[in-house]
Amino acid sequence: MSDENIILPFTMGYLTLSLLVVSLGIFVFLALRARSVRSFQFQVSIFILVMVVAEIINLAEDQGLIQLPSSLEELGYYIHLGSMISFCLMLWLRFYYSKKSGTRMVEEIPEDS
């Protein structure tokens, strides 16, 4: 096995981790800029923020940067699961309240009469 095969995965892990930290900064900025917790941009930014944090935990553990106790080895995956459940709930509630109030969602295609 050559030195390139050993260094490349290690370097790619750090590159991915660096890009995730940059994207984390971008989504924190977008969440703060939305200014309203009820705005869709804020809610999606928070969802992506949680997903990025979970991925950072997974990568940091894989790279050996952090050492989690055996009971928390899959912490990143649990965070992913929780964020996906909250994202589904958020979308369902937005749809439910838009139908209940009789307002139209932006994504709907206008009906031709």
Q: What is the pLDDT of residue 106?
A: 60
Q: What is the pLDDT of residue 53?
A: 83
- Rounded to an integer, what distance in angstroms lies between the CA atom of residue 40 and that of residue 66? 34
Q: What is the pLDDT of residue 100?
A: 84
Q: What is the pLDDT of residue 98?
A: 80
- pTM for this one? 0.65
Nearest by Cα to 54 from 80, 83, 88: 80
Q: What is the pLDDT of residue 55?
A: 81
End-to-end CA distance of the chain: 69
Q: What is the pLDDT of residue 93?
A: 86
Consecutive 10-residue averages of pLDDT for the chain (113 residues): 55 76 81 78 79 82 82 84 88 84 62 59
